[in-house]
């Protein structure tokens, strides 16, 4: 029988769920935190398994409570933990073990290094950077290290797994499913589709459902992976907390006007394009200041550009900020500018959550015609969309909106209305929970009938 969720008064399916992610919790992935909390509030017993610990303070979400509730799995990938787990499956399920080994061997990444994996396990299995992208996406190497996880799933009676990304977490879920029969689902986002899509069709076709965070991703999978079952892919937006990002305290009279950008300092955010546009505005005598909130590997290069071109007095780098601090930047900004680009390796954003947050705060948004961004930003209605990598056009549009505050204010108001329609996290999370309930129910019924 199902239990009752006391908070919602709804039936809760008797499911014990393992939620698998890469690194948790991160400032750039607060949507994962929201997803986990919503599953728990809906009555699902969820345990988060983070394959690696946050190692860089620039992107770590400093939340002791979240960390205390998380199982950090990398210590269990050491050789001393892995070998007994292999022996366990060889003794208790030898045919399943051999069948899964053959499957992993058949789908292995031939560019990966077994020597690197052994060295990494002997060193304690903690430093993710010791492994190459090929290593991290090699199913045969995942077979070597997944055994302790699969043994735990079997021993502790987990009945469902959810992989938060279509890369390494979904490899763990796929292999554990092959070893234990415990079903799984997958979320697919951006980088995990565009630059680390190892055996993607196998992972998604074996999943009970795939949730992806926009319609662009579904179209991308339809075009480039026609072998994937398209009826199993469900676009569900991440959503934004519209109560938290309210509009009551906006200050629209900053002097000089503030061009705000929020996000990790990586190439796909297009911050180099923003600085080049800023240089053009400076040469035209336009008054402005640029605030960049976030941290990442591109910061030294961006700061060097500012020093060389004497923009350092106009551009402020605030580093990584906690979610509750970021709202104050939205309140003080004049325009939100994130001219996203596609990186050389194919990586690109879907819909950056910060765009939705800025729109919720009635900030006029300037971004790019790229991937799923047009699903949220309606050009000339809720903001402006430009061709990627065009600092000339970006400078012209920034100047246009700075000189026409009535137009900017109108776009900001329409932006708020747009996120209320599409991106209210209360609606999007309910949609995701309903998907879990729909797909888990037959599993529960089948188990009850055995």
Contact 12, 20 (CB under 8 A): no
Does residue 339 lie within any of the structural domains? yes
pLDDT score of 132: 60
pLDDT tens track for 287-337: 999 999 999 999 999 999 999 999 999 999 999 998 889 999 999 999 999
Q: How confident is the model at residue 72 (pLDDT cuts 50, 70, 90)?
A: very high
Does residue 104 lie within any of the structural domains? yes
267 shares a domain with 186: no
Q: Which of 106, 72, 75, 101 shows the shortest CA–CA distance to 179?
A: 101
Residue 130 pLDDT > 60, yes or no? no
281 shares a domain with 132: no
Does residue 247 lie within any of the structural domains? no
285 shares a domain with 231: no
Residue 74 belongs to domain spanning: 3-238+425-449
102 shares a domain with 56: yes
311 shares a domain with 190: no
pLDDT score of 166: 94
284 shares a domain with 173: no
Does residue 309 lie within any of the structural domains? yes
184 shares a domain with 280: no
d(CA 424, CA 241): 6
Question: Taking all residues of the chain, what is their mean pLDDT, rounded to a whole number?
Answer: 89
* pTM for this model (two decimals): 0.90
Q: How confident is the model at residue 127 (pLDDT cuts 50, 70, 90)?
A: low
pLDDT score of 6: 40
Does residue 121 lie within any of the structural domains? yes
443 shares a domain with 365: no
Between the ranges 81-95, 99-113, 247-261, where is the mean pLDDT highest? 81-95
Residue 117 pLDDT > 70, yes or no? no
188 shares a domain with 49: yes
Does residue 245 lie within any of the structural domains? no
Domain total of the chain: 2
281 shares a domain with 148: no
Does residue 243 lie within any of the structural domains? no
- Within 10 A of 59 (CB to CB), how many other CB atoms are there? 19
What are the C-alpha distances in Å from 80 to residues 36, 265, 281, 305? 31, 38, 60, 48
Q: Which of 199, 159, 198 shows the shortest CA–CA distance to 177?
A: 159
301 shares a domain with 177: no
Q: How many angstroms separate the first and last alpha carbons of the chain?
A: 14
Query: How many CA atoms does the CB half-sphere of 195 hold within 13 Å?
Result: 12
Contact 146, 176 (CB under 8 A): yes
pLDDT tens track for 414-427: 999 999 999 999 99
What 3-state class would DSSP assign to 162?
A: strand
Does residue 248 lie within any of the structural domains? no
Could you tell me which residue, 428 or 12, shows the higher pLDDT?
428
429 shares a domain with 411: no
CATH number at residue 174: 3.40.50.2000
Q: Which of 68-82, 117-131, 210-224, 313-327 has the lowest mean pLDDT?
A: 117-131
């Amino acid at each position: 029988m199902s239990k009752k969720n006391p908070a919602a008064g709804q039936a809760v399916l008797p499911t014990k769920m393992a939620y698998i992610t890469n690194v948790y919790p991160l400032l750039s992935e607060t949507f994962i935190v929201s997803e986990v909390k919503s599953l728990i509030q809906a009555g699902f017993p969820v345990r988060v398994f983070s394959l690696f610990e946050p190692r860089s303070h620039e992107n770590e979400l400093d939340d002791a409570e979240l960390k205390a509730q998380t199982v950090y799995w990398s210590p269990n990938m050491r050789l001393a933990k892995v070998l007994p787990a292999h022996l366990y499956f060889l003794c208790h399920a030898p045919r399943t073990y051999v069948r899964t080994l053959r499957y992993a061997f058949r789908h292995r990444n031939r560019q990966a290094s077994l020597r690197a994996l052994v060295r990494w396990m002997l060193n304690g299995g903690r430093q993710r950077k010791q492994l190459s992208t090929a290593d991290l996406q090699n199913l045969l190497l995942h077979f070597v290290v997944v055994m302790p996880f699969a043994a735990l799933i079997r021993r502790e009676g987990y009945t469902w797994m959810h992989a938060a990304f279509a890369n390494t977490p979904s490899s763990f879920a796929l292999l554990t499913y092959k070893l234990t029969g415990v079903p799984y689902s997958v979320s697919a986002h951006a980088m995990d589709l565009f630059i680390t899509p190892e055996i993607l069709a196998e992972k998604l076709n074996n999943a009970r459902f795939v949730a992806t965070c926009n319609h662009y991703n579904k179209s991308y999978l339809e075009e480039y992976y026609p072998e994937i079952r398209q009826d199993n892919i469900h676009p569900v937006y991440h959503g934004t907390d519209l109560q938290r990002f309210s509009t009551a305290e906006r200050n629209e009279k900053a002097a000089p006007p503030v061009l705000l950008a929020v996000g990790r300092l990586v190439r796909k955010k297009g911050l180099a394009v923003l600085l080049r546009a800023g240089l053009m505005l400076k040469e035209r005598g336009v008054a402005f200041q640029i605030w960049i909130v976030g941290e990442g590997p591109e910061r030294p290069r961006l700061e060097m550009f500012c020093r060389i071109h004497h923009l350092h007095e106009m551009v402020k780098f605030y580093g990584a900020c906690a979610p509750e601090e970021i709202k104050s930047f939205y309140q003080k900004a004049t325009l939100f500018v994130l001219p996203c680009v596609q990186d050389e390796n194919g990586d690109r954003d879907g819909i950056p959550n910060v765009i939705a947050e800025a729109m919720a705060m009635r900030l006029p948004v300037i971004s790019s015609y790229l991937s799923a961004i047009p699903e949220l930003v309606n050009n000339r209605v809720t903001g402006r969309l430009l061709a990627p990598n065009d600092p000339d056009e970006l400078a012209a549009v920034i100047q246009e909106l700075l000189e026409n505050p009535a137009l900017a204010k109108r776009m900001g108001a329409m932006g708020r209305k747009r996120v209320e329609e599409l991106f209210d996290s209360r609606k999007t999370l309910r949609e995701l929970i309903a998907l879990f309930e729909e797909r888990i129910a037959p599993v529960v019924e089948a188990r009850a009938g055995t």
